[in-house]
Amino acid sequence: MKLRSHISTKLIKEYFLFGWMVAIFLAAALPDASLAASNDKIERSPLVSGVFKNIPMKEAIVSIEKSIGYKIILQSFDLSIPVSGEFVEKDINAVFTSLLKGYNLVVLIDNEKRIVQIKSLGKKGKNHELVNETVDATAFPENDGVESSEITNPQKEQGGEPIILEDGADIADRDPFTGKTEDEIIKLHGDQNLEIEQEVANPNTIEPFTGMTNAELADLHHKQNESISGDQP
């Protein structure tokens, strides 16, 4: 019976640890992606329909709350920023990813309490809008009549000197996709990992694979151990 108790406890711990390792990996590997967590695996995330044309974020939230019946909480956002978008039965995670496309964010959905929390992980780099776009070099006046193979390095001025930005950083030292320096990216990952660690330590945090809170899993683990101990002669 002792062997059975040891194996059961070990499997539960390994399963719980595996779930959080996957969640942490996704957050670290996809910094610009939005992560949605739900405590109900059966009920779908709320769907949003609406048209928002350059209105304050606060007004958009009020409209969305009325349409879906959820309380929406935004953390570290300026509610006066203008947002625009047109949505028909769109998942709420995709809606806020679109409305707040200039930000890295996390969307946490609690279907039982009908609460949606959106946390800001900081603004994206200035170059993020160019990542998925194809830019025609001939569209720029200075490149008229110049073949693409003849275009000089855009990170250098004509004299060959590196371009220094207002904050003193060499543009060549910045990440081409986020526009951030290496130190800024390291800090961003550090902040994200710290927030994930805090969520893992929070007893009310929802474990992504089981849909149960950390406190519920701990209680279940405790009851299983008691049951196993009671079976011993």
Q: Considering the domain 33-123 in this protein, what is its CATH number?
A: 3.55.50.30
Q: Are strands 115-123 and 103-110 parallel, antiparallel or unpaired?
A: antiparallel
Q: State the pTM of this model.
A: 0.38
Cα 231 to chain center, whole Å?
Answer: 45
At residue 30, does pLDDT exceed 90?
no
pLDDT digits (tens, 9 = 90+) for 91-138: 888 898 889 888 888 888 888 888 888 887 777 765 444 333 333 334
Mean per-residue pLDDT over the chain, rounded: 68
For the chain, domain boundaries: 33-123
Predicted local distance difference test score (pLDDT) of residue 178: 64
In contact, 58 and 128? CB cutoff 8 Å = no
CA distance 53 to 83: 7
Predicted local distance difference test score (pLDDT) of residue 22: 53
pLDDT digits (tens, 9 = 90+) for 179-227: 677 777 778 877 877 777 777 778 887 766 677 787 888 888 778 877 7
Across 41-171, where does the E strand assignment appear?
A: 47-56, 71-75, 82-91, 103-110, 115-123
